[in-house]
Structures are given as structure tokens and as C-alpha cells.
Amino acid sequence: MENLRRTVAVVDDDPSLRRSLGRLLNAYGFQVEVYTSAEAFLARDRKTAIDCLVLDIDLGGMSGIDLQRRLKGEGTTLPVIFITALEAASVKAEAEKVGCVAYLQKQFSGTVLIAAINKALGL
């Protein structure tokens, strides 16, 4: 399993979605770090290397788009996959503008997410 050492961080304020995505990613051999908010992700122990970020756009505090802007401003080149329940073309355009490998509308399939992560990681 080539993915075994790859760590995917999931940032979403929905506990059931975090749990589901964690199980899915573990089943595909990824290590998973889950965070309840953008602020929690920023406060994480930076010693843990993150290879890909699955990031909800609509979070309780700082938005996923604002987190991506901040990460880019810090020089981070972490590949980001945005996930969202929002259906606005302007939100998608903004997400693509700040940089993402994929933009997935909830309820996306597990297969689509795994394909996006593999693309982000060059697998």
C-alpha cells in the first residue's frame, strides 16, 4: 500500500462527516488527521506532516477559503480539495481562484474523493 505513509487532513465542522471520511480514508490506507475548524487546523502540532487537505468551505469561524488564503500567504503549497454543500457559482469561482485540486459538492461519492486525493498526491 503506497498510501500508508500519506496523511490527509480533514477539516469539517460536521462530526458525522469527519468520522465517515476518516473511515473511508483509513480503508484506502491513508493516515487521517481530523479538525473541527480552520482555527483548530492552524493550532495543530506542525511536526505532523500533512500531504493533502480536504477542507470544508463553510465552517463556523474562519472559512475554508480564508484558511487556504492564509496558508498560501505563509508559502504553504499543500494540495487542497474543497468540499461544500453550497451551490453558488461565485463560491466555486472563489475556491478555484485561491487554489484547489478539486471542488466537490456534498454528497460526493467516496470514489470521487479518493480519485481527487490520488490526483493531488500524484498517485
CATH of 2-121, one of 3.90.400.10, 3.40.190.10, 3.40.50.2300, 3.30.70.260: 3.40.50.2300
Q: Model confidence over 20-61: pLDDT tens digits?
A: 999 999 999 999 999 999 999 999 988 888 999 999 999 989
CB 70 within 8 A of CB 98: no
Give CA–CA dist 27/48, Å, rounded.
Answer: 20
- Extract the C-alpha cell encoding 104: 466537490
**Could you tell me the pTM of the whole model?**
0.91
DSSP bridge partners of 81: 54, 102
Q: What is the CA radius of gyration of the chain?
A: 13
Instruction: Work out the average pLDDT over 73-85.
Output: 93
pLDDT grade, residue 70 (50/70/90)? very high
Q: Which residue has the cell 462530526?
A: 15
46: enclosing H helix or E strand: none
pLDDT grade, residue 1 (50/70/90)? very low
DSSP bridge partners of 8: 32, 52
